[in-house]
């Protein structure tokens, strides 16, 4: 068995998995994002709308395991709002002094609860497919946020002649085009608290921005620190150049 696994892995890696990767290039159009660019930041109102989409739609199947409720202050919520948001969820705690597990209301320090207690149950509920955790989704796929956005909107009728595997949907942007997730984003499925437009494109955009925050929560600090550090280094380089030139003035080389 061990030998077989070894040989199989090596063969797989060395010979190239041409079957799985019938690599047809899928072109993913680039989108405008507030977090792009040298000083790019998150749009907090957009993140709140995106969170609403996650909460009302995605969270039925997808976990967000690396996010704690306390992190939602990044979205512009006050600590009080985060407390009451957390309190809408029940989490298991314990054991108590009687040795029993018990349910209590979630606190800001708790992670966002997962929709399924384990992967096996998640598969059973989703026709055998495991809905992936979304905390790192925009970094874990080629194309990043652009890919996630277009995937959400990329559901189409399969081309004539293609026999879809039962239970799968056709998606223009999914590698291999047959995806386990059915179409979720449509006009008006969410009514935004701030009255923002809720057509499919806006919903997809908002939830993708939210997911990019979840994947890269320190992005704003990264950009602002980066500008300061890089400017400092630039000035340092210029001064070093001037000092070097002066020092070498009389050295023939």
Partner 1 sequence: MSTEKSVWRKAFEWHEERLPLVSWLDHSLGTKYPVPRNLNYWWNFGSLAMFMLAVMIFSGIFLAMNYTPHVTLAFDSVEHIMRDVNHGWLIRYMHSNGASFFFIVVYIHILRGMYYGSYKAPREVLWWMGILIYLVMMATGFLGYVLPWGQMSFWGATVITSLFSAIPAVGDSIVTLLWGGFSVDNPTLNRFFSLHYLLPFVIVGLVFLHIWALHVPGANNPLGIDATPADKIPFFPYYVMKDVFGLGVFVVIYFIAVFWFPNALGDPVNYVKANPLVTPPHIVPEWYYLPFYAILRAIPNKLLGVVAMFGAILIMFVLPWLDRHPVRSASFRPIYRVFFWLFVANALMLGWCGAQLPEGLPATLSQVGTFWYFFHLLVVLPVLSWVETPKPLPASISQPVLKAAE
Segment near partner 1 (CB under 8 A), from 2-10, 76-84, 164-172, 201-209?
2-10
Q: Which is nearer to partner 1, 102 or 236 (CB)?
A: 236
Q: Respond yes or no on whether the N-terminal peptide bond of residue 95 is cis (omega within 30° of 0).
A: yes
Tell which one of 5, 27, 29, 165 touches partner 1 (CB under 8 A): 5
DSSP classification of residue 112: P
Distance of CA 146 to the CA centre of its chain: 11
From the number of C-beta atoms within 10 Å of its C-beta (0-12, 13-18, 19+), residue 191 rates as: exposed
Q: Which is nearer to partner 1, 61 or 190 (CB)?
A: 61
Tell which one of 73, 84, 88, 230 touches partner 1 (CB under 8 A): 230
CB 29 within 8 A of CB 150: yes
Residue 89 lies near partner 1 (rule: CB under 8 A):
no
CB of 94 to partner 1, least distance (A): 21
DSSP classification of residue 110: S
Tokens for 226, please give them.
């980066």
Residue 223 lies near partner 1 (rule: CB under 8 A):
yes
Residue 229 lies near partner 1 (rule: CB under 8 A):
yes
User: What separation in angstroms does the CA of 178 have from each of 57, 58, 76, 204, 205?
Assistant: 21, 19, 37, 20, 22
Residue 62 lies near partner 1 (rule: CB under 8 A):
no
Residue 141 lies near partner 1 (rule: CB under 8 A):
yes
CB of 129 to partner 1, least distance (A): 12
Residue 25 lies near partner 1 (rule: CB under 8 A):
no
Q: Which is nearer to partner 1, 132 or 158 (CB)?
A: 132
Tokens for 125, please give them.
């509920």
The separation between the first and the last C-alpha atoms of the chain, rounded to the nearest angstrom, is 66
Per the DSSP assignment, residues forming a β-bridge with 104 are 91
Q: Which is nearer to partner 1, 136 or 196 (CB)?
A: 136
Q: What is the rounded CA–CA span in Å between residue 139 and residue 212?
A: 8
CB 179 within 8 A of CB 192: no
CB of 239 to partner 1, least distance (A): 8
Kindly list the residues in this chain that would bind partner 1 in the complex (CB under 8 A).
2-3, 5-6, 9-10, 12-18, 20-21, 23, 38, 66, 71, 132, 135-136, 139-142, 144, 175, 215, 217-218, 221-223, 225-227, 229-230, 233-234, 236-241, 243-244, 247-248, 251-253
């Amino acid at each position: 068995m061990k030998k077989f696994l070894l040989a199989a892995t090596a063969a797989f890696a060395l010979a190239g998995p041409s079957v799985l990767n019938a690599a047809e290039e899928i072109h993913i159009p680039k989108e405008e994002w507030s977090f792009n660019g040298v000083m790019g930041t998150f749009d907090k109102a957009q993140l709140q709308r995106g969170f609403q989409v996650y909460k009302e739609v995605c969270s039925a199947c997808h976990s967000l395991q690396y996010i704690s409720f306390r992190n939602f202050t990044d979205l512009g919520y006050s600590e009080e709002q985060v407390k009451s948001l957390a309190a809408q969820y029940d989490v298991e705690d314990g054991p108590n002094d009687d040795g029993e597990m018990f349910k209590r209301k979630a606190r800001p320090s708790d992670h966002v609860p997962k929709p399924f207690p384990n992967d096996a149950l998640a598969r059973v509920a989703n026709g055998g497919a495991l809905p992936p955790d979304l905390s790192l989704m925009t970094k874990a796929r080629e194309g990043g946020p652009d890919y996630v956005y277009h995937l959400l909107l990329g559901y189409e009728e399969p081309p004539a002649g293609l026999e879809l595997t039962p239970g799968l949907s056709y998606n223009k942007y999914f590698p291999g085009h047959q995806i386990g997730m059915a179409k979720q984003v449509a006009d008006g499925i969410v009514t935004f608290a701030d009255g923002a437009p809720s057509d499919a494109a806006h919903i997809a955009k908002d939830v993708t921005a939210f997911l990019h925050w979840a994947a890269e929560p320190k992005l704003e600090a990264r950009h602002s620190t980066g500008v300061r550090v890089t400017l400092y280094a630039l000035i340092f380089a210029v001064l070093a150049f001037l000092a070097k030139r002066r020092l070498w003035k009389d050295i023939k080389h």
